[in-house]
Amino acid sequence: MNPVALVTGAAQSIGRVIVEHLCREGWHVAALDADSPAIESARHTWSAGNDSIHWICADVSREAEVSQAIEEVRERWQRLDGVVNNAAISSAHSGPPETLSLEQWRRVLEVNLTGTFLVSRCALPLLRSSRGAVVNIASTRALQSEPFSEAYAASKGGVLSLTHALAASTAGEVRVNAISPGWIDTGPWLPAERRQPLWENPSDHQWHWSGRIGLPQDIASMTAYLLSSAAQFITGQNFTIDGGVSRRMTYPPSP
């Protein structure tokens, strides 16, 4: 029987490539996104006729919509083996903290952190039955910062803490891990009106020990591994995938 995964933020960017990767590996995927035009674009351009993908339009920050999405999965497949919490407001820069409104702050945390919790909580009964796995997509900004990224950094830091807390609470039943991507070029996997060519600045590639900036496939392959039975001894962990940048020693320019 094919395993079943729920992927949030699935219609574009990293989420879209995770869905494609899992389908190639034989998974059935409930692909959830709040952006209905992005869903329609994805449905018609790369998943038409693919009955292994079931599209769901829902906002992960809304409890009723999350509950309904999990119920759709239950009704369609009667099981759930993996959850990928990828949905996020991805703009890291919100301006000086003095001008960051409470509304903006709350919205980022509602989607990025509370949404991760709501999806995981609603999925746990099915995941416990299948002894499944959760992969939370965090960010290297949970571990290191740049100016004017308070809401995003706080939300992703919360995702990392939520990851090991859930791993402890579901020990022996559900594995829970996180991935912290670094610089990932998502341009070609965005909706057509926002699509950009792959990044070609040589100095930016050279800044990475890997010799290039990241691609969504780098995240998708680790996600698939962490969901698989090959990762049965891995839980409560965060995997930084950034081409080595966060380990790079830097110094100020010489005077």
H or E segment at 155? helix 150-169
Distance CA 37, CA 49 (A): 18
Distance separating alpha carbons of residues 44 and 64, to the nearest angstrom: 28
Is residue 159 within 8 A of residue 138, CB to CB? The reply is yes
152 is catalytic: yes
* 189 DSSP assignment: G
3-state secondary structure 30-92: EEEECCHHHHHHHHHHCCCCCCCEEEEECCCCCHHHHHHHHHHHHHHHCCCCEEEECCCCCCC
Quote the CA–CA distance of 124 and 104 in Å, as a whole number. 29
State the catalytic residue, choosing from 27, 55, 117, 152. Answer: 152
Catalytic residues: 152
